[in-house]
């Protein structure tokens, strides 16, 4: 078990064979991530931008500012009932928490 791991729960329909991408880049099992039970485990920090506040959203809409915060996307590609399926933007759970960010 990796105690300091960033966890990503796998969807129920994912079988034993699947590919993992972070921000569109293919990840290698045993190098970039591990698996424990039904969770992917990453040692490198992952982040979600989270909800934008009213003023931040307003400044983006008005073109005053952009959104340049880190916003990782973990995607899993697998086969289900003979079709290729992509589960995108999976929830990320930081170390020491049970709540996705």
Q: Where are the domains of the chain?
A: 6-87
pLDDT tens over the chain, length 101 residues: 457 899 999 999 999 999 999 999 999 999 999 999 999 999 999 987 555 566 655 665 666 655 565 789 999 999 999 999 999 999 999 999 999 98
**35 token code pair:** 């698996």
d(CA 14, CA 78): 6
pTM for this structure?
0.78
Class of domain 6-87: mainly beta
The structure tokens 């929830």 sit at 91
């Amino acid at each position: 078990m990796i105690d300091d791991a960033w966890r990503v729960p796998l969807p129920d329909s994912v079988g034993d064979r699947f590919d993992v991408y972070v921000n569109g880049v293919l990840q290698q099992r045993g190098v970039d991530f591990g698996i424990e039970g039904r969770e992917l485990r990453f040692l490198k920090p992952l982040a979600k931008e989270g909800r934008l506040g009213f003023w931040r959203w307003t400044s983006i809409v008005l073109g005053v500012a952009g959104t340049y915060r880190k916003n990782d996307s973990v995607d899993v590609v697998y086969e289900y009932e003979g079709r290729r399926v992509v589960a995108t933007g999976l929830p990320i759970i930081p170390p020491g928490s049970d709540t996705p960010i």
